[in-house]
Structure formats: structure tokens, C-alpha cells
Amino acid sequence: MTYKFLDHTSDIGVEVRSSDFKGALVEAIFGLIEIIFGKSFVDFDCNANFETLEISSFDKESLIVDTLNEILYLIDTRKIIPVKPEILDLSNNKVILRYKPFHFNFDDYPIHLYVKAVTFHQLEIIENENETIIKYFVDI
């Protein structure tokens, strides 16, 4: 599983790759968190019990955007970085995400780049039998 950042004139894009859609969605979460904080939280852990988040949407594209915007909500409003994210259940229009809530303050974990929203602009899902690629852009 990997993710990389894509060049764009006014937004920031992320391309994630994984063997399946579940893994790609988790990588998309890691990519978003790294954009915001300027560092990777892939190997980060905390002493917290897991929480779950259930997101329903219209289709896979909406599910990606809605899930990532929920992550933004956790960070902006609840001051939680969702670490150790794991998808418990997934369909074309619903995801159940489990994560450890790392409660942070902006003094210790300052915002590197403020993300307003994850958008549908240039959103792309490429699925084949060996790999899933998700490309998404965030409004900064």
C-alpha cells in the first residue's frame, strides 16, 4: 500500500494504491492526515480504546469523499486524529471504520496545511484484479 501527492494549481491531490478498495481507503485517510499535519501517522499509536464510525453514501465515489470529510470533522471539531484506522465492513455505499482516537492540541500538533474539504473534482477510482487506485483532491 502506498500513497503519493499530486501536483495541481490550487488544490492538493493524493494518489493511493493498494491491493483492494479497503486498503486504498485506509491509505487515503493516511494521506489526508499527512497533508494536514505535515507528517505521517502510519506507524503512530496511542493508548485509547477503539471507536467506530459508520458512514453511508450514494456510491463509492461519494463514500470516499464523505469518509475523508468525516476525518476532517474529527480533526477540526473534536481534535481527534484517527490512528490505526481499519475498515470493519465495506459495501458500495457504506463503510464502518474503526480507529483509535488520539486527542491532540494544536500547540503540540500544529496544522501544517489547512484543508477546507475533500472534493469530487478529479476524483478517480481505478480497480482491477490486482490493485485499486484512488485519486482525490482537497480544497486548501
Alpha carbon 108 to chain centroid, angstroms: 21
The DSSP code for 46 is: -
Distance CA 77, CA 32 (A): 16
Determine the average pLDDT of the residues in 22-31: 97
Distance CA 14, CA 1 (A): 13
All structural domains of the chain with their residue ranges = 2-139
In the numeric block, the cell 490550487 is attached to 10
Distance CA 61, CA 98 (A): 20
Task: Please report, as a single letter, which amino acid is at residue 85.
Answer: P
More confident residue, 100 or 3: 100
Which residues on adjacent β-strands are paired with residue 127? Answer: 132
The reported pLDDT for the residue numbered 5 is 72
Determine the average pLDDT of the residues in 27-52: 96
Task: Record the pTM.
Answer: 0.92
Nearest to 108, CA basis, from 51, 39, 5: 39
Q: What are 50-78's pLDDT values in tens digits?
A: 999 999 999 999 999 999 999 999 999 99
In the numeric block, the cell 499527512 is attached to 34
Report domain 2-139's class.
Answer: alpha beta
Spatial strand order of the sheet with 117-127 comes to 2-6, 11-18, 132-139, 117-127
